[in-house]
Structure 1
Amino acid sequence: MAEINRKKPALICCGVLLAVVVVLAVVFVALYFTVFRPRSPRVVATIVDTRVSGFALLPAPVLNLTFDVAVTAYNPNLAAFQYGEVVTVVRYHGDGVGQAVVPAGEIGARASAAVRTAVEVDAVRVVSSPYFPMEGIAGALPFETATTVAGKAVVLRVFKIRARSVVTCSVTVYPLRKESTPPQCISTVHVG
């Protein structure tokens, strides 16, 4: 009986310790899924302006075209989101005809950041396309821009979330009128 009385405080101590560990684990899991859960950033890229500074079909085809692209990102996490280079590519019928790169950076916790870049279109690649003669005469050139932002957020130095966002916009440029249609954009986010 005396031996059982000596083991009783040890059992109570182990039971209390186990209960504290279980409660801490439950609190930690609850905080992770409510407050500290890493969330993917929201990225929006739009074509702000299309500038046509020169267009001619004769004597030789000429096209001076620049797309101004604005990228806005919101970081909903309680930790900073570090992103790599922001790459914007302009395509004409699937062929790359322009590219701009914005240096890497960081968005603070629950903050937004805006980046603007200008992408100059390589006129030689557009004019040498087999689609250009008909579309150049018709005066409507379809372009697509794709902006990629990739990075990671680290919450409490333990939880990491990697996110990659690609925003694709379609726009038709009317170089004779020096106008363009409003961009139609689609955004996809890849987390993990």
Structure 2
Amino acid sequence: MNLGTLPYLDPFFSTKIRTTMEGYEQVSVTKQRRKAYKSRCLTVASVLLGCLLLSSIIVLILAFTVFKAKQPRTKLISAALDGVSPRISFPVVNIQLNITLNLQFLVENPNHASFKHGPGKSFLLYRGDQFGEADIPPGDIPARSSATFSSRLVLQVDEMASNITALIDDVLNGELVVDTRTRIPGRVTFLKVFKKHAVVTSECQFTIAVLALKLQSQKCKSESNL
């Protein structure tokens, strides 16, 4: 081949072509990097959204199963009398009565969280009127545990003036019927966030053999309100 016939290549033109090609390559690499970055962002966002959705589902499942608030239960486990047999004197009617009713209640907490209760109250009633009361101190019953509470109720004859005639009749007949009502308010807290208020109540009726100063019969009912 005759070298004299080769076309002349302008060095500036060659450099320009090389620069243009390098520019295209840089643009292509930049686009690929942006595409990869967007893809990674979408992947991370999808993973985070999936984790959030899964966590929400788990919380809902726990809320309706393990962490579903259950009603605390209570029952009377013992009842005993202290005091002396009543005496009635005549011709001026005077009745001397010293009776104390000692009760013990068991409160069961079936929840997977503690049951924190405030001060409670026990009331002693005769024919629907209140004639004695006792305080129950506040406390905390751990998850799936129970606690025992005591109430010492004294029948206060001095406050029974309105029912004194009925009381004398019952004493002469040998039987005295009294009622007790116990109320313990509190709340169950799950994960220190979800709180559910609950009130435990117990109502009992006792028939007392006056002369022997013994409990002839007793019947109780308990309930809880969430």
Query: Which residue does 2:60 correspond to in 1?
Result: 29
Report the TM-score, using the length of structure 1 for normalisation: 0.87
Number of matched pairs = 190
Distance in 2 between residues matched to 1:87 and 1:27, nearest whole Å: 39
Residue 12 of structure 1 and its aligned partner are, at CA, apart by 4.4
Query: Which residue does 1:69 correspond to in 2?
Result: 103
- Go from structure 1 to structure 2 and tell me whether the alpha carbon gap of 1:171 and 1:128 turns closer, same or farther (over 3 Å shift): same
Instruction: Render the CA deviation track for 1:96-155: whole Å, top value 9, x for unaligned.
Output: 011111211111222211122211110223464042232222121110001111111211
One-letter amino acid matched to 1:75:
N
- Go from structure 1 to structure 2 and tell me whether the alpha carbon gap of 1:97 and 1:66 turns closer, same or farther (over 3 Å shift): same
Structure 1 contact 51–67 (Cα < 8 Å) conserved: yes
- Go from structure 1 to structure 2 and tell me whether the alpha carbon gap of 1:169 and 1:54 turns closer, same or farther (over 3 Å shift): same
Residue 188 of structure 1 and its aligned partner are, at CA, apart by 1.6
Task: Determine whether 1:112 maps to 2:146.
Answer: yes
Larger radius of gyration: 2
Query: Which residue does 2:21 correspond to in 1?
Result: none
Q: Is the partner of 1:44 in helix, strand or coil?
A: strand
One-letter amino acid matched to 1:44:
K
Query: Which residue does 2:6 correspond to in 1?
Result: none
Note the residue ranges of structure 2 that are not aligned, 5 or more in a row.
1-30
Structure 2 contact 81–100 (Cα < 8 Å) conserved: yes
Whose helix fraction is larger, Structure 1's or Structure 2's?
Answer: 2
After TM superposition, the structure 1 stretch with the greater mean CA deviation from structure 2, 87-96 or 173-182, is 173-182
Whose strand fraction is larger, Structure 1's or Structure 2's?
Answer: 1
| Structure with higher RCO (Cα < 8 A, 6+ apart) | 1
Report the TM-score, using the length of structure 2 for normalisation: 0.75
Distance in 2 between residues matched to 1:181 and 1:87, nearest whole Å: 25
| Correspondent of 2:203 among 168, 174, 177 | 168
Structure 1 contact 140–173 (Cα < 8 Å) conserved: yes
Structure 1 contact 146–169 (Cα < 8 Å) conserved: yes
